[in-house]
């Protein structure tokens, strides 16, 4: 019987700042399948995450399920890296950010720095799975027509171009057969009221880039890339929209499977698509949303 077995694989999940989002759940699922897992965290949130981890505040969330392939009973993190994906290199970082106390002690927190630090720690050919769980739109609460140029471009920079940059810097360190994964949302393809600030455009760009990168990464490195378009989930980041509870209630009422989406359902599919069992898939966006995307009209 096929089994998701990632023993001997090494994974990096970028965009983990707490235990309440898809990034943490995906990291845990990969660990349960036997992978060694590192994370990259936003510098302003990294200190709090590290403190809570050390104090055992995440121990319940770290508890592994029965039948896991990991060697411990709690999820472990091999390494925590600082990452602000707005910046490709330290030359791009404004002086006020460099001198900020939440950044200044973290060393090189750019995408280039992440690549350099990873290579120094593990060497070339050491990365098998790269997960992009990064999204930020400072004006997400605004309708698109009210979004400023700065807010719009910031959403694209943090939420979609960061994937391109990470692939450029990190995929040369990946093993042939490796897998890249990002997280999208239905607003990339359909109108979702309240998902503003250019975030819908950023997710559309993310999905388009996934198709192009699917070709280019395969030809250059033998690496696959896919995206999961997940249904609504009340993570800390999603709460910034101000309407996430309304989204969840609407999905629960109208989706073919009338139940809330869980972190574990998205994470389990992520583990599959990143594993050798998903080796035939690349350049694809897969919907994990209880079937909501199939509806052209709600039937109650």
| Catalytic residue set | 185, 195
Q: For residue 133, what is the DSSP state? A: -
Task: List Cβ neighbours of 132 (8 Å cut-off, separation of 6 or more).
Answer: 14, 15, 162, 163, 166, 180, 181, 182, 183
Helix/strand/coil for 18: coil
Burial class (CB in 10 A: 0-12, 13-18, 19+), 229: buried
φ/ψ (deg, to 5) at 60: -65, -45
Task: Say if CB 40 and CB 15 are below 8 A apart.
Answer: yes
Q: Which CA distances in Å does 44 have to 47, 82, 120, 233, 261?
A: 7, 9, 24, 23, 29
What is the separation of C-alpha 11 from the centre of its chain, rounded to a whole number of angstroms? 12
Query: Two tokens at 57?
Result: 């505040």
Q: For residue 183, what is the DSSP state? A: E
Altogether, the residues listed in the chain come to a count of 300
Query: Two tokens at 264?
Result: 């574990």
What is the separation of C-alpha 90 from the centre of its chain, rounded to a whole number of angstroms? 23
Query: Two tokens at 91?
Result: 């030359």
Query: Two tokens at 182?
Result: 């990002």
């Amino acid at each position: 019987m096929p089994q998701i077995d990632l023993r001997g694989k090494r994974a990096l999940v970028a965009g983990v700042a707490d235990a309440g989002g898809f990034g943490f759940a995906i990291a845990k699922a990969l660990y349960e399948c036997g992978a060694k897992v590192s994370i990259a965290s936003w510098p302003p949130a990294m200190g709090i995450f590290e403190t809570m981890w050390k104090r055992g505040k995440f121990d319940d969330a770290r508890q592994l399920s029965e039948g896991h392939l990991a060697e411990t009973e709690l999820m472990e993190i091999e390494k925590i890296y600082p990452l602000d994906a707005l910046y490709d290199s330290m030359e791009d970082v404004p002086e006020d950010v460099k001198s900020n106390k939440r950044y200044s002690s973290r060393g090189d927190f750019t995408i280039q720095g992440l690549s350099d630090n990873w290579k120094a720690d593990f060497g070339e050919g050491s990365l098998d799975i790269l997960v992009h769980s990064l999204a930020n739109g400072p004006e997400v609460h605004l309708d698109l027509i009210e979004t400023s140029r700065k807010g719009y471009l910031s959403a694209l920079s943090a939420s979609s171009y960061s994937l391109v940059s990470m692939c450029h810097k990190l995929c040369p360190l990946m093993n042939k057969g490796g897998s890249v994964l990002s997280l999208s949302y239905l607003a990339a393809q359909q109108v979702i009221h309240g998902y503003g600030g250019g975030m819908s455009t950023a997710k559309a760009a993310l999905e388009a880039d996934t198709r192009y990168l699917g070709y280019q990464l395969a030809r250059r490195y033998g690496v696959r890339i896919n995206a999961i378009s997940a249904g609504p989930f009340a993570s800390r980041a999603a709460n910034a929209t101000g309407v996430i509870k309304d989204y969840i209630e609407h999905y629960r009422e109208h989706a073919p499977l009338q139940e809330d989406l869980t972190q574990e359902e998205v994470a389990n599919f992520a583990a599959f698509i990143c594993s050798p069992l998903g080796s035939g898939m690349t350049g694809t966006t897969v919907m994990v949303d209880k079937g909501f995307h199939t509806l052209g009209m709600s039937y109650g």
